Structure 1
């Protein structure tokens, strides 16, 4: 009875925050919530290594229902963060890195929708629109990581302006965005030459949340599409090892929160399990939640009414024990 009662309390606590990600009524019509309007460009003089880039950005809309939006950004050439400021800031920041298999980056399902949930409890959220590896950038597979590292540094260097603490910067990544967030958490090396004073501060997050992350680049559990778009058709064994999260050195990395559905047919749960083994061996503070159902790419909207819907509250409770309000 105690477990059931506690579960009901958690679901009840999650309901108000989740409601902020749901459609709103305008007159007789139900429509998606409006987009935030504050945007921060990552690179003051253009993203590095773009001399060979010829693509043109697109942001298609896949939803035909006015109640919700389902856009993705492809061929991004001017990376940005869209800022979602809370009504009552708690001092924490969260960089959200949506997935898309390194082919594109979804904006709503794992970006704005999730950001609204955490902004509702006081976290200042930044949704990252990052460059993609196959678009001709000289950094190749490191182009997305350049954007993630620069974004973390921008938030930290402008912490006072954003109303956050420079030591309370979380990163949340989903699917291939989880792979990118993992790279940003594990790697200590800057992947670009310094641009300005922003690049004098630390590039690593203080907390990491990985939703059904792409982790491995090899073996039977690899997400083949992410690997192909990140590393090409036939990457070498060395390249595969260098970009497999479970084979990286996570020593002194920030605490990690992992969540995954056991029935994920796109990115098998073994990705999180293999990464967990590595995190444990590196003594990284880690909490893991596996859900029986949920599939892949559920964000917050696609699991309403299911047990996995409580994951934001589980993440908040875990972070609170680390003195990190979310």
Structure 2
């Protein structure tokens, strides 16, 4: 991926995060590339019926093409009425799995950069991937602040409950989240046992705790002074009480049960300040929990796995995988 592609990606994310869902809904495909989510593996619905807190009329899925290059997809998903998991299976399975959580300021899902492309490098290493299409809280759902976490908890429970079906070790399941997806991944890692919805079936008796969490240029704090306002407002609603923001800030939820966490961000991130990652790192250290943090000089925001090798932050996938190996999640 060229530097120009990475730059345009960051500009797209910044603009869409600032404008929210309305901007995504108005956008038109910039080229004739695919604007549908195609499957190359099983698709697993999260809920046996309608998801908790469903509005009378479910959101209608929309997929917009954000790329101007015919060879380069940047699909932006909104209108998630029926959340699901897309399964990406390697030819050789090493027993580990990753729940992939794309970002998008809780206003859209960055499907390719933070979903499909992450699954490609992970499956090449034998890791089974589950890309999470989670509900967007501003699309009419009741208890909006809990909606994404409900989906993340249910997703991890499904993966663990069906581990044998996918030749997985239920004790080697990671979550990898990006930007606002990093906030959701961090929330799953710190609030996995919180009852966010009424149990529905035997799956909900299974633990939702990930064995490892990777948080990449994550939104962590929803409180001032360095929150990402778009993520906060989409999740909690504009004008939400400060107490709600404090409650939903990941760094405030770390405890003795939080799994090992890997963090990476760039100092020149102009959208989600690196102080978010620093806050999480400090919280993990304070609770004496395993944590590794890589703060890079260059990389910006939304870089995924697209950075040129000359840009320092391009090294994060190898560092994340090595961290997972040391904690027994990924194969040596």
8 Å CA contact 1:99–1:177 kept in 2: the answer is yes
Aligned-pair CA distance for 1:122? 0.5
Q: Distance in 1 between matches of 2:49 and 2:317?
A: 37
1:240 matched to 2:237? The reply is: no
Deviates more, 1:257-266 or 1:305-314: 305-314
Counterpart in 2 of 1:126? 130
8 Å CA contact 1:58–1:73 kept in 2: the answer is yes
Aligned-pair CA distance for 1:62? 1.2
Aligned length: 295
TM-score w.r.t. the length of structure 2 is 0.86
8 Å CA contact 1:149–1:190 kept in 2: the answer is no
1:145 matched to 2:138? The reply is: no
1:40 matched to 2:44? The reply is: yes
1:66 matched to 2:83? The reply is: no
1:194 matched to 2:199? The reply is: yes
Q: Deviations over 1:198-235 (max 9, x none)?
A: 11110111100000100111112110111111111111
8 Å CA contact 2:213–2:261 kept in 1: the answer is yes
Q: Deviations over 1:240-262 (max 9, x none)?
A: 11111122233211100000011
1:125 aligns to what SS in structure 2? strand
Aligned pairs for 1:157-168 (under 5 A) are 157-168=161-172
Q: Distance in 1 between matches of 2:309 and 2:52?
A: 41
1:320 matched to 2:325? The reply is: yes
2:64 aligns to what SS in structure 1? coil
1:217 aligns to what SS in structure 2? coil
Q: Deviations over 1:104-146 (max 9, x none)?
A: 1110001100111111101000000000111111121111111
Deviates more, 1:296-305 or 1:219-228: 296-305
Match of 1:102 among 106, 109, 124: 106
Match of 2:298 among 293, 296, 315: 293
Q: Distance in 1 between matches of 2:269 and 2:222?
A: 17
Q: Distance in 2 between matches of 1:248 and 1:158?
A: 28
Q: Distance in 1 between matches of 2:328 and 2:115?
A: 24
Match of 1:284 among 280, 289, 293: 289
Q: Distance in 1 between matches of 2:209 and 2:274?
A: 25
Q: Deviations over 1:170-224 (max 9, x none)?
A: 0000000000001100012121111111111101111000001001111121101
Q: Distance in 1 between matches of 2:188 and 2:149?
A: 7
Match of 1:155 among 156, 159, 164: 159
1:275 aligns to what SS in structure 2? helix
Q: Distance in 2 between matches of 1:155 and 1:295?
A: 32
1:135 aligns to what SS in structure 2? coil
Q: Which runs of 5+ in 2 are unaligned?
A: 1-32
8 Å CA contact 1:98–1:173 kept in 2: the answer is yes
8 Å CA contact 1:258–1:272 kept in 2: the answer is yes
Q: Distance in 2 between matches of 1:280 and 1:321?
A: 18
1:213 matched to 2:213? The reply is: no
8 Å CA contact 1:134–1:140 kept in 2: the answer is yes
1:113 aligns to what SS in structure 2? helix
1:114 matched to 2:118? The reply is: yes
1:256 matched to 2:277? The reply is: no
1:227 aligns to what SS in structure 2? helix
Counterpart in 2 of 1:87? 91
Question: Structure 1 residues 158 and 293 mapped into 2: Cα distance closer, same or farther (>3 Å)?
Answer: same
Q: Distance in 2 between matches of 1:193 and 1:147?
A: 13
Deviates more, 1:175-184 or 1:275-284: 275-284
1:178 matched to 2:182? The reply is: yes
Q: Distance in 2 between matches of 1:249 and 1:121?
A: 30
8 Å CA contact 1:53–1:137 kept in 2: the answer is no
